[in-house]
Amino acid sequence: MDKDFAARRRRDLIIAAVLAVIAALTPLFVKDVVVQNILILTLMYAGLSQSWNILSGYCGQISLGHALYFGLGAYTTELLFTKFGVLPWFGMLAGGVVSALIAMGLGYPFFRLRGHYFVIATIVIAEIGLLLFHNWEWAGAAMGITIPIRGDSWLKFQFLRTKLPYFYFALALCCLAWFVTWWLENSKWGFWWRAVKDNPDAAESLGVDVFNSKMGAAAVSAFLVAVGGSFYAQFVSYIDPESVMGFQFSLLMALPAVLGGIGTLWGPVLGAAILIPLTELTRFKFGGSGRGVDLIVYGTLIVLISLALPRGLLSLFSRPKKTGAAR
């Protein structure tokens, strides 16, 4: 049995490596900028959703306010860059740390809430964050921040003539989030998180530090999402509150995981691979008037998934466990 388990872990790692190599080679064949753009966003959302999944899927603390951390990552990076000339790479790190700290600060009161009340709190907090940035003059308020273009450079992480560097960064982020999840899955934290999700009282009786488990999950999750946010800011080179902290980002982090299989290693990647191209294509097809069509797509998918496959698409692939037979 131990051998089965180790083999499964190794198999996951090999599949991930193969997929990463295939993904890394796609730009050789895909020259179309629109398609490259979709690939970048797909990888980014896969990474974001994977990070969201750590807190909400594994630890069971459903957050619909992760846009806050995404926006904080973007703002920290760009404020440091435009106001103090700090390179985006350091800004990215700073954004991650700021978000992780804020996630823990918010967790302190809110992790005492259970179930729906926690979800509501996350939505409200993210909206408050959005409003604060809307009114914060120094941070550009509603006008936002335009990132000054100084020409293609890895140092400043900005590229005008090619999208490839962004593509590889998004791929790296996705791989990082996946690998962190893979690694944590078979660690004390991973087990603690799942125990907390399933039954906090029982977890407590088994020596699990329930509160700090949640805090740890929130910090890791927020850090990775913030790195994604700061990448996105560099990628689009203009940010305003709505475009990096809007509620749609919270949805776009949650939906791929829910679609693919919440609390699973592969769910977010699978979900993002289906959902993001679909929404980007509908948006592209319907142009400016298409705003709202992507929402119809989300809605329909969610209804279908919750009716037919409440454990996500991934449950199609896992062999049902024999309940009667003992091995």
- Check binding of 232 to other proteins (CB under 8 A): no
DSSP-based three-state secondary structure for 238 = strand
Window contacting other proteins (CB under 8 A); options: 46-54, 118-126, 157-165, 187-195:
187-195
Angle, helices 33-53/164-185, rounded to nearest 10 degrees: 20
Residue type, 270: L
Q: Could you tell me which stretch among 1-9, 97-105, 136-144, 161-169 binds other proteins (CB under 8 A)? A: 1-9
Asked if 186 touches other proteins (CB under 8 A), the answer is yes
Burial bucket for residue 4 (CB in 10 Å: 0-12, 13-18, 19+): exposed
The three-point CA angle 81-87-89 to 5° equals 120
Least distance to other proteins, CB of residue 306, Å: 17
x/- map, 196-215, other proteins, by CB under 8 A: -xxx-xxxxxxxxxx-----
Segment near other proteins (CB under 8 A); pick from 42-50, 96-104, 111-119, 182-190: 182-190
Residue 172 touches other proteins, criterion: CB under 8 A = no
CB of 76 to other proteins, least distance (A): 34
> How far lies 78's CA from each of 91, 95, 150, in Å?
7, 10, 14
d(CA 97, CA 75): 13
Closest CB to other proteins among 203 and 305? 203
Written as one letter, the residue type at 1 is M
Per CB under 8 A, does 188 bind other proteins? yes
The CA angle 12-15-20, to the nearest 5 degrees, is 125
Closest-CA residue to 71 (of 150, 138, 125): 125
Rounded to whole angstroms, the Cα distance separating 110 from 248 reads 22
Q: Under rule CB under 8 A, how many of the chain's residues touch other proteins?
A: 30
Name the minimum Å distance from CB 62 to other proteins. Answer: 15
In the range 252-291, which residues lie near other proteins by CB under 8 A?
Answer: 263
| Residue 316 Cβ vs other proteins, minimum distance, rounded to whole Å | 17
**What are the E-state strand segments in 80-230?**
145-146
Choose the binding region for other proteins from 39-47, 139-147, 168-176, 318-326 (rule: CB under 8 A): 318-326
Q: Which residues contact other proteins by CB under 8 A?
A: 1-2, 4-5, 186-188, 191-192, 194-195, 197-199, 201-210, 263, 321-323, 326-327
